Each structure stands twice: as structure tokens, then as C-alpha cells.
Amino acid sequence: MLTWTDVIRYATKGNPPAPRRVEKPDMEWKKVLTPDEFHVTRQKGTERAFTGEYCEAHEPGLYACRCCETHLFDSSLKFDSGTGWPSFTQPVDVAAIQYHKDNAFGMVRIEVLCNVCDAHLGHVFPDGPAPSGLRYCINSASIRLVEKF
């Protein structure tokens, strides 16, 4: 189980190796993503709180990267954080996510990206529920429910 200490270590000393890589020029991404999905995933945008497709979703399954279909989060680890974005306590695999310090907007946060295609997903915070204490705050535009149990 990942902890905040692990997240900080990855953000400062390097991320786990990706299981594979998917790289495309922006013109290719624009062909397969909606304008909103492109803005969030490729330009590090953020959807407005409480507007995302998966904010209130409770269907069982796996959430994958909207860009490359890499499995990222399991719905069994999704919780209602009250923040307006889908929130998870852990990724499905330590190598699924990469972590970067984000100093934008006068704050220090940890940005989370898909480790396979570098899609911006959202941020992770140390205020989630036990036992991990992590809250992965993820944009719905960056994920897709791909596998139902």
C-alpha cells in the first residue's frame, strides 16, 4: 500500500518505471479526445467541481486512462471526498501513476499523471481515509470506466 511518504519519494527522487509507453503528437491526441478531454489530459486542465461524469458514480469496475486505456484505479477504492471530483485511495498498480511536484497557483501539490502516456489525471493529497491516508483527486475527463465486475 502506498503512503504519503512513498508519494513524496516518487515526486522528488523519480517515478517507478512504466510498464510500456504510448506517445503521440498533439494532433493525434486531438483526433481521439474531445476538446475537454484534450484540455484536461494534455494541457493539465481541471474540470469544474461536481461536473464530472464520475463524480457521483458508484458502479463497480476499473477506471482506465482515457488516452491510453491503462488501468489506473479500482472502483472499490473510490470514496466520496465531498470535493467534487472522483477520489480514490490507491492506484491499481504502483507503476500506473507518476508523481510530480506542482507549484502552480502559489501552492505546492503533487500532480498525478498516467505513467504510460503522461496524461494529466489530477492531484494526490495526504487527507484521505485510513489506512493509506491518500486522496487521489481525479478529473473525470481523464478516466473511463472500462471493466465492470
Q: What is the pLDDT of residues 10-69, one digit of tens each?
A: 999 999 999 999 999 999 999 999 999 999 999 999 999 999 999 999 899 999 999 999
pLDDT of residue 103: 81
The C-alpha cell at 146 is 472500462
pLDDT of residue 87: 98
Q: Which residues are catalytic?
A: 137
- Domain with 129, as residue range(s), is 4-147
CATH for 52 = 2.170.150.20
Please say if the pLDDT value at position 149 is more than 70.
no
Q: Which SS3 state, helix, strand or coil, does residue 84 take?
A: coil
- Name every residue whose Cβ is closer than 8 Å to that of residue 106 and which is 6 or more positions away in sequence: none
Residues facing 116 on adjacent strands:
none
Burial of 113 (0-12, 13-18, 19+ CB in 10 A): buried
Please say if the pLDDT value at position 1 is more than 90.
yes
What is the tally of structural domains in the chain?
1
Closest CA to 8 of 101, 131, 137: 101
CA atoms of 38 and 112, how far apart (whole Å):
16
Cβ atoms of 4 and 133 closer than 8 Å? yes
pLDDT of residue 106: 76
Strand order in the sheet with 71-74: 71-74, 62-65, 143-147
Please say if the pLDDT value at position 131 is more than 90.
yes
The C-alpha cell at 145 is 470506466
